[in-house]
Amino acid sequence: MAGKDQKHLARSSIMNRSKPTGKFLAGMIIACLSITSCSSKKEIKIADATPGDALAIVKDETVVLVSEFKPGQPNGLFDGGIKVDSKGKPTRLAEVNVVCSMPDLPNWPEYDNIYGRWLENGEQPGEKGGDTDWQLLIYFDGDKKSSGEGEVPSWASRLAQNLCRKGDFRDN
């Protein structure tokens, strides 16, 4: 019997070493969830965003809030700073302005207007204004028109939706 018990204990010991324990499994699940949540950024509505939050994600580009958008005059103007993170490209800083409108509002255009300029090294958003590298008019009928000198970034329309609370960024 003693030989039989020793074989059983040895087999049991080997099997227990190959089976994960409850603590081990819990740790693995937490690690997997942490990795997943850290690697997938989520867009944050501008009303809830703080510097460092993603405002717009388009393909492999993420627009991150750097300096808060300040309401200006007239009421629909917003001015702020962003950085654009993109896979395989250097991070770029930009100053962005958005003029939000509403359909059928007297004396207001029938489009939202987003425009901006790329910042040079060491330059901060809001230090100087007036220059614009690109501009996009987003008409309420769905048309879009570039009216600036430079190429409109792929994320401009999505950022304008966030800042103007349109599309799936609508307030509830």
Instruction: Give yes or no: residues 131 and 65 share one domain.
Output: yes
Instruction: Give yes or no: residues 110 and 53 share one domain.
Output: yes
Q: Provide the pLDDT for residue 15.
A: 44
Instruction: Give yes or no: residues 62 and 9 share one domain.
Output: no
Instruction: Give yes or no: residues 105 and 131 share one domain.
Output: yes
Of 19-33, 35-49, 74-88, the range with the lowest mean pLDDT is: 19-33
Q: Are 115 and 80 in contact (CB under 8 A)?
A: no
Indicate the pTM of the whole model: 0.72
Distance CA 25, CA 62 (A): 34
Each residue's pLDDT tens digit, 147-171: 888 999 999 999 999 999 888 887 6
Residue 79 pLDDT exceeds 90? no
Instruction: Give yes or no: residues 66 and 139 share one domain.
Output: yes
Instruction: Give yes or no: residues 91 and 139 share one domain.
Output: yes
Each residue's pLDDT tens digit, 102-120: 888 888 889 999 999 999 8
Q: Percent of the chain beyond pLDDT 70?
A: 70
Residue 28 pLDDT exceeds 60? no
Q: Provide the pLDDT for residue 40.
A: 65
Residue 78 pLDDT exceeds 70? yes
Instruction: Give yes or no: residues 154 and 120 share one domain.
Output: yes
Instruction: Give yes or no: residues 18 and 59 share one domain.
Output: no
Residue 3 pLDDT exceeds 60? no
- Per DSSP, 101 falls in state -
Instruction: Give yes or no: residues 149 and 165 share one domain.
Output: yes
Instruction: Give yes or no: residues 68 and 152 share one domain.
Output: yes
Q: Would you place residue 122 in the very low, low, confident or very high pLDDT band (cuts 50, 70, 90)?
A: confident
Instruction: Give yes or no: residues 7 and 54 share one domain.
Output: no
Range of the domain at 18: 2-39
Instruction: Name every residue whose Cβ is closer than 8 Å to that of residue 115 and which is 6 or more positions away in sequence.
Output: 96, 97, 98, 132, 134, 135, 136, 148
Distance CA 154, CA 56 (A): 10
Structural domains in the chain (count):
2
Distance CA 46, CA 165 (A): 8
Burial of 151: CB neighbours in 10 Å, binned 0-12, 13-18, 19+: exposed
Q: Is 160 helix (H, G, I), strand (E, B) or coil?
A: helix
Instruction: Give yes or no: residues 58 and 88 share one domain.
Output: yes
